Structure 1
Amino acid sequence: MPRTEIQNLELRDQRREQILIAALKVFSRRGMAATKISEIAKEAGLSHGLVYHYFKSKEEIFTLLVQRAAESAVQIIEKARLQEGTPLKKIKWMTEQILQGLSAGEQILLFLIMIQASTSDAVPEEVQHLFSSPEYKSPVNCLVPLIIEGQQCNEIIKEDPIKLAVSYYAFIQGFSISKLQWNQCPIPEADLIIKIFK
């Protein structure tokens, strides 16, 4: 019996997701420049041609992963803003969610993709356009209003809010890299990280 249109769409979405997760693993190990479509196909357990059926290039896949990583970072800040409590309590909640994600697997690789995307010369032009686009919401810029709110109620130190946000993400990215290099790396409690705001 032939598949229905809905079943075809579901299969297509499942295949695309399978390829994206495989690509995330390969890009995190090899970087954008060194990765080949054949390696992504092998990681996904699919044929080389089937990957090309769903995506036109490794650049397209990398760009989609960068978009996913950026959206994920901003969504967690937006969710934090909806939590009960003071600005610092909201940042603590967000930090706990991020640190749990670092232990879970995929989240840590998304952090690594963002680091690659913002530091490598080999990233696709679409990624460069994404970062320079007026619509792009950087996690640092999205966190700043919450920091300012905390400063206004004397809960967060009166340092430059952008420098505080950059320092916060530097900690998170540092833990991500350490966890990738050393699987047994202990992930700190959220309280240790949010001390930079006190």
Structure 2
Amino acid sequence: MSYLNREERRETIMLAAMKVALEEGFSAMTVRNIASRAGIAAGQVHHHFTSSGELKSQAFVRLIEEMMALPLVPENASWRDRLFSMLGSEDRRLEPYIRLWRQAQLLADSDAEIKGAYLLTMSMWHGETVKLILAGQRAGEFTLQDSAENIAWRLISLVCGLDGIYVLGMAEVDDAAFSRHLHHLIELELF
């Protein structure tokens, strides 16, 4: 590997960690595996990050930021479609991110750094959902009977609950049912 300054090497490590996380999940995010992907010695990972937990949590947050920035609907989409895509998009590109988010939720009980990162990403998701609700209200598409913050939490709670049932493979909560329930709550909350 050619010479990289400190920031470039740190970014190389971060990108390798993000790639490992998306492709193989948290359990594969070992220092050795990440260093191998980055083409560096394992000691370099320790030099740039205080712990593997710090690297995992920072990579996770970056990946969720990346996921939220993905253009999932056209720019001229309705605010309802934009909100739905933020909460329950059917875009298959999101699957690796969602798998990782599910893993983070499970790890949050036993890993303080992952818990912190998971809580941060939930707050980020909430913030982006609030922005969409308020933009839809300003555009005259949404009518709010409660604060955008409260509505966003209720929508996110429904999505998290449905996702928990969805991963169990219950026939009653397949893709179509997931979408139908989410559209119904959006209708109840904002129209």
Alignment of 1:99 with 2:87, yes or no, is no
Q: Aligned to 2:175, what secondary structure does the other structure show? A: coil
Q: Which runs of 5+ in 2 are unaligned?
A: none
TM-score, normalization by structure 2: 0.59
The percent identity for this pair of structures is: 12
Q: Aligned to 2:133, what secondary structure does the other structure show? A: helix
Rounded to whole Å, the distance in 1 between the matches of 2:142 and 2:115 is 40
Q: Which runs of 5+ in 1 are unaligned?
A: 30-34
Alignment correspondent of 2:78: 86
1:19-168 matches, cutoff 5 A: 19-23=17-21, 25-27=24-26, 37=30, 41=32, 50-55=41-46, 56=49, 57-72=51-66, 74-76=68-70, 79=71, 83-95=75-87, 98-101=89-92, 105-113=95-103, 115=105, 119-120=108-109, 122-124=111-113, 127=116, 131=120, 138-151=124-137, 153=140, 155-168=142-155
RMSD: 4.7
Query: Contact 2:35/2:41 (CA < 8 Å) preserved in 1?
Result: no
Alignment correspondent of 1:186: 174
Rounded to whole Å, the distance in 2 between the matches of 1:159 and 1:80 is 27
TM-score, normalization by structure 1: 0.57
**1:140 offset after TM fit, Å?**
0.7
Q: Aligned to 1:138, what secondary structure does the other structure show? A: helix
Rounded to whole Å, the distance in 1 between the matches of 2:157 and 2:116 is 21
Alignment of 1:196 with 2:182, yes or no, is no
Q: Aligned to 2:91, what secondary structure does the other structure show? A: helix
Q: Aligned to 1:99, what secondary structure does the other structure show? A: coil
**1:61 offset after TM fit, Å?**
2.2
Rounded to whole Å, the distance in 2 between the matches of 1:22 and 1:172 is 26
Rounded to whole Å, the distance in 2 between the matches of 1:146 and 1:75 is 13
Rounded to whole Å, the distance in 1 between the matches of 2:78 and 2:25 is 40
1:41-83 per-residue CA deviation (whole Å, 9 max, x = no partner) reads 479988xx9544335432122222332244135425xx57972
Query: Which amino acid letter does the alignment assign opposite residue 54 of structure 1?
Result: V
**Residue 169 of structure 1 is aligned with which of 140, 145, 156?**
156
Query: Contact 1:175/1:187 (CA < 8 Å) preserved in 2?
Result: no
Q: Aligned to 2:90, what secondary structure does the other structure show? A: helix
Q: 1:13 to 1:122 in 2, by over 3 A?
A: closer
Q: 1:191 to 1:151 in 2, by over 3 A?
A: farther
